[in-house]
């Protein structure tokens, strides 16, 4: 009902996005008691899922501390066709800034991250695939724990979702699925389905790729295939289904769940440490918007779910991390854990786009005010039309689909093998254990490359403009076809650390983009492949000339320069509190417990030890489900 009312508002006011979030959600705990069984820091993709599952037991009390508001009922959040709009609200996006990136021509780039209940799932693009079976199996091998393998994890992927199979119309438009990889039961939570509007050029692209059609992009074998991605979408009414929609709104009245929004967790409070005892959390300190400091206390565990930048920040503010870094930041070291904030990984994003003669693209809504109004009406009246969908067709390119020349590929792989030790050492900040861990990661990834059975890159088709010229007024007022080229398996490893004791200061973030030479070589091949796809039959029928990279960017050197000047974050940050053995530089064990601390677990994308070939959200839900399932840990 509330959503319908908002829909009306949208119909009347859609236009430039409002400058700021207008909802007066605030720190208003219903029954804020001083002590809870669990305190969850960060009510994002993972945090709100964990809180929801834990409070299914009415004897368990949970408090959630979330820095952002509940933005679930904003049209820019729940209308699929407005995907991308909400991240432009500074109130909903941390918009983390990196330090100058040497291999990005010295640019400071921005990393988007959701600052709201639901975290990334509020502002993300709703693409909902899973990664490669053998990558999850790799987590199990690395941690010597068979409970972290595809077969063991599949039930938790399934448990997180309520899947709506594609209907005949969606199947005609290339949506496909395999029943054994999905579930739709009363215990499932996030609605997953396919859009009800397709731009015909997406289908043209699928045949232009010459990749195998995917049977299901969530079946553990996406590599080398092309298909329509499932979306985090409620197919009954064509609205986004975020972590809030799936895990919070239906359960928000539970008396044992207190969710505080617009409050910033500042540190974990420890039992005064004494010799020969393991460090133990007793509470969490947080700040409300008026600047007041508060505390909540914990009987069992603190769950750290503040994301791959927010979670290491909290540990460091609490005195857990590399003592030298903490000292420089003005924080007393309580527990030396030198790899906190290291092994930081992000997928890297680039594009190729062309003008198109296709009748409609997403640009049409901006170019034609009458069409825009008509499409708004369609969405409002029966949830159809361009606003009802955020369609994305994905292909996951194998090395042989990027490098046409075997000799060139083999040479690149030989160079990478030769330099494994060098780069593992370079990225491990002097930590011998982490050098071992990164070496392991490289050898694992290289095997996938050498067997031509792992996807270092995703190419996804967008029926509209996607590229580095973000401002509409700065590009030709025309329709576009775009291919996003996402580097999924970077070999570069960066770091994120605090530099001051002030919890409102941004950490110093260095993703070290393109520092490993394989990354830039692979990405340039992918951009080249993307621009070729735009001109291949049958997509050539609607091709009307390349816009970016542009006709003058024709040699590999020129394309490399363009990538260095324009590539950016794909906002898939992970790895900074990696689940790896301690002797490999890990921060959490395979129960997700922080080494050396009795009762703090990390449950978010920070624990993903090495990059995976998928957008992260489905995997993050799976991690949350697995941790909460009885008998799983």
**DSSP calls for 445-475:** HHHHHHTT-S-SEEEEEESS--SS--SGGGS
Residues 480-519 that bind ligand FAD (CB under 6 A): none
Measured from the CB atom, the residue of 248 and 480 that comes closer to ligand FAD is 248
Measured from the CB atom, the residue of 613 and 617 that comes closer to ligand FAD is 617
- C-alpha distances out from residue 206 to 30, 214, 232, 397, 600, Å: 51, 10, 21, 13, 45
CA distance 490 to 513: 8
Q: Of the candidates 127, 244, 331, 564, which one interacts with ligand FAD according to CB under 6 A?
A: 127
* 23 to 52: interface string for ligand FAD, x by CB under 6 A: ------------------xxxxxxx-----
CA distance 547 to 562: 13
**DSSP calls for 124-192:** S--B-----HHHHHHHHHHTT-TTSSHHHHHHHHHHHEEE----HHHHHTT----GGG--B-TT--EEE
Tracing tokens 């997700």 back to the chain, one arrives at 592
Q: Which residues pair with 93 in a beta bridge?
A: 114
Measured from the CB atom, the residue of 264 and 409 that comes closer to ligand FAD is 264
Provide the total of helices (H) and of strands (E) in the chain, helices listed first. Answer: 20, 25
| Spatial contact of 64 and 306, defined as CB atoms under 8 Å apart | no
Measured from the CB atom, the residue of 305 and 482 that comes closer to ligand FAD is 305
| Prior bond of 538 cis (ω within 30°) | yes
* Residue 188 Cβ vs ligand FAD, minimum distance, rounded to whole Å: 17
Q: Of the candidates 55, 121, 339, 429, which one interacts with ligand FAD according to CB under 6 A?
A: 121
Q: Which residues pair with 162 in a beta bridge?
A: 184, 191
* Residue 505 Cβ vs ligand FAD, minimum distance, rounded to whole Å: 11
* Residue 400 Cβ vs ligand FAD, minimum distance, rounded to whole Å: 26
615 classed as catalytic: yes
* Residue 265 Cβ vs ligand FAD, minimum distance, rounded to whole Å: 4
* Residue 467 Cβ vs ligand FAD, minimum distance, rounded to whole Å: 16
Tracing tokens 């430039």 back to the chain, one arrives at 16
Secondary structure letter of residue 494 according to DSSP: B
Measured from the CB atom, the residue of 43 and 448 that comes closer to ligand FAD is 43
CA distance 355 to 475: 11
* Residue 270 Cβ vs ligand FAD, minimum distance, rounded to whole Å: 17
Q: Which two tokens stand for residue 326?
A: 């903490």
* Residue 230 Cβ vs ligand FAD, minimum distance, rounded to whole Å: 10
Catalytic residue among 128, 347, 516, 615: 615
* Residue 608 Cβ vs ligand FAD, minimum distance, rounded to whole Å: 9
- Among the candidate windows 299-307, 491-499, 523-531, 548-556, which touches ligand FAD by CB under 6 A? 299-307
Measured from the CB atom, the residue of 317 and 424 that comes closer to ligand FAD is 317
Q: Of the candidates 123, 142, 226, 459, which one interacts with ligand FAD according to CB under 6 A?
A: 123
| Spatial contact of 63 and 258, defined as CB atoms under 8 Å apart | yes
221 classed as catalytic: no
Measured from the CB atom, the residue of 98 and 617 that comes closer to ligand FAD is 617
220 binds ligand FAD (CB under 6 A): no
- Among the candidate windows 8-16, 176-184, 302-310, 590-598, which touches ligand FAD by CB under 6 A? 302-310
Measured from the CB atom, the residue of 304 and 402 that comes closer to ligand FAD is 304
CB atoms within 10 A of CB 288: 15
* Residue 437 Cβ vs ligand FAD, minimum distance, rounded to whole Å: 20
Q: Of the candidates 68, 312, 437, 575, which one interacts with ligand FAD according to CB under 6 A?
A: 68
- C-alpha distances out from residue 184 to 179, 187, 221, 300, Å: 10, 8, 21, 32
Residue nearest to ligand FAD (CB): 44
In 229-380, beta strands by DSSP E: 233-234, 239-240, 257-260, 264-270, 281-287, 293-304, 320-321, 335-336, 348-356
Secondary structure letter of residue 231 according to DSSP: B
CA distance 303 to 311: 10
- Among the candidate windows 102-110, 173-181, 305-313, 378-386, which touches ligand FAD by CB under 6 A? 305-313
Q: Which two tokens stand for residue 1?
A: 């009902």
Three-state DSSP class for residue 561: helix
- Among the candidate windows 274-282, 306-314, 403-411, 625-633, which touches ligand FAD by CB under 6 A? 306-314
Q: Which two tokens stand for residue 366?
A: 């901006």
Q: Of the candidates 54, 62, 67, 358, which one interacts with ligand FAD according to CB under 6 A?
A: 67
Q: Of the candidates 188, 307, 437, 490, which one interacts with ligand FAD according to CB under 6 A?
A: 307
What number of CA atoms fall less than 13 Å from residue 581's CA on the CB side? 15
Secondary structure letter of residue 250 according to DSSP: G
CA distance 477 to 263: 42
CA distance 128 to 515: 29
Three-state DSSP class for residue 623: helix
Measured from the CB atom, the residue of 520 and 605 that comes closer to ligand FAD is 605
* Residue 500 Cβ vs ligand FAD, minimum distance, rounded to whole Å: 14
Q: Which two tokens stand for residue 76?
A: 């820019």
Residues 572-631 that bind ligand FAD (CB under 6 A): 572, 604-605, 615-618, 620
Q: Of the candidates 62, 113, 334, 521, which one interacts with ligand FAD according to CB under 6 A?
A: 113
Measured from the CB atom, the residue of 26 and 382 that comes closer to ligand FAD is 26
* Residue 584 Cβ vs ligand FAD, minimum distance, rounded to whole Å: 21
Q: Give the count of residues interacting with ligand FAD (CB under 6 A).
A: 43
Residues 543-572 that bind ligand FAD (CB under 6 A): 571-572
Q: Of the candidates 50, 74, 82, 87, which one interacts with ligand FAD according to CB under 6 A?
A: 87
- Among the candidate windows 60-68, 196-204, 517-525, 554-562, which touches ligand FAD by CB under 6 A? 60-68
Q: Of the candidates 69, 75, 80, 114, which one interacts with ligand FAD according to CB under 6 A?
A: 114
Binding site for ligand FAD (CB under 6 A): 41-47, 65-68, 87, 112-116, 119-121, 123-128, 264-265, 305-308, 310, 314, 571-572, 604-605, 615-618, 620
Residues involved in catalysis: 572, 615
């Amino acid at each position: 009902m509330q959503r319908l009312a908002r829909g009306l508002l949208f119909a009347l006011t859609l236009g430039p996005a409002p400058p700021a979030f207008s909802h007066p959600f605030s720190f208003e705990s219903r029954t804020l008691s001083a002590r809870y069984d669990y305190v969850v820091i960060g009510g994002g993709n993972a945090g709100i899922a964990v809180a929801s599952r834990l409070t299914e037991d009415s004897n368990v009390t949970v408090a959630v501390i979330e820095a952002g508001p509940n933005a679930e009922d904003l049209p820019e959040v729940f209308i699929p066709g407005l995907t991308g709009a909400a991240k432009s609200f500074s109130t909903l996006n941390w918009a983390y800034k990196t330090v100058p990136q040497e291999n990005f021509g010295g640019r400071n780039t921005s990393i988007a991250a959701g600052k709201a209940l639901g975290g990334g799932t509020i502002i993300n693009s709703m693409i909902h695939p899973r990664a490669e079976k053998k990558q999850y199996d790799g987590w199990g091998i690395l941690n010597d724990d068979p409970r972290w393998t595809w077969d063991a994890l599949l039930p938790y992927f399934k448990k997180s979702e309520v899947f709506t199979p594609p209907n005949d119309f969606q199947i005609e438009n290339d949506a496909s699925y395999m029943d054994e990889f999905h579930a739709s039961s009363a215990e499932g939570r996030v609605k997953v389905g396919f859009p009800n509007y397709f731009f015909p050029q997406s289908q043209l692209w699928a045949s232009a790729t010459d990749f195998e059609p995917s049977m299901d992009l969530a079946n553990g074998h996406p590599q080398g295939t092309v298909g329509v991605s499932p979306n985090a979408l409620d197919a009954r009414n064509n609205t986004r289904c975020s972590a809030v929609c799936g895990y919070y709104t239906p359960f928000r009245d539970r008396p044992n769940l207190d969710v505080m929004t617009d409050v910033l967790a500042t540190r974990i409070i420890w039992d005064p440490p004494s010799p020969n005892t393991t460090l133990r959390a007793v509470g969490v300190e947080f700040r409300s918007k008026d600047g007041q400091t508060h505390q909540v206390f914990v009987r069992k565990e603190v769950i750290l779910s503040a994301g791959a930048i927010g979670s290491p920040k909290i540990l460091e503010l609490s005195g857990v991390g590399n003592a030298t870094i903490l000292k420089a930041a003005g924080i007393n070291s309580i527990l030396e854990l030198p790899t906190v904030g290291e092994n930081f990984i992000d997928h890297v994003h680039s594009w190729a786009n062309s003008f198109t003669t296709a009748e409609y693209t997403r640009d049409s809504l901006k170019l034609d005010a009458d069409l825009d109004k008509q499409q708004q009406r369609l969405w409002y009246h029966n949830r159809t039309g361009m606003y009802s969908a955020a369609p994305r067709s994905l292909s996951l390119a194998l090395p042989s689909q990027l490098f046409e020349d075997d000799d060139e590929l083999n040479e690149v792989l030989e160079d990478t093998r030769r330099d494994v030790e060098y780069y593992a050492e370079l990225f491990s900040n002097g930590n011998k254990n982490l050098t071992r861990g990164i070496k392991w990661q490289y050898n694992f990834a290289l095997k996938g490359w050498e067997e031509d059975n792992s996807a270092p890159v995703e190419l996804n088709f967008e029926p509209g403009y996607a590229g580095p010229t973000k401002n509409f007024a700065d590009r030709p007022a025309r329709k576009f076809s775009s291919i996003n080229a996402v580097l999924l398996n970077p070999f570069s490893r960066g770091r994120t650390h605090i530099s001051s004791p002030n919890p409102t200061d941004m950490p110093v973030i260095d993703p070290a983009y393109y520092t490993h030479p394989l990354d830039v070589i692979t990405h340039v091949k992918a951009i080249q492949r993307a621009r070729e796809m735009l001109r291949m039959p049958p997509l050539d029928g609607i091709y009307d000339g390349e816009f970016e990279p542009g006709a003058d960017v024709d040699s590999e050197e020129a394309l490399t320069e363009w990538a260095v000047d324009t590539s950016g974050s794909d906002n898939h940050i992970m790895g900074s509190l990696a689940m790896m053995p301690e002797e490999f530089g890990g921060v959490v064990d395979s129960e997700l417990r922080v080494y050396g601390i009795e009762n703090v677990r990390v449950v978010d994308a920070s624990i993903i030890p090495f990059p995976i070939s998928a957008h992260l959200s489905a995997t993050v839900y799976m991690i949350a489900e697995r941790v909460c399932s009885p008998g799983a840990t």
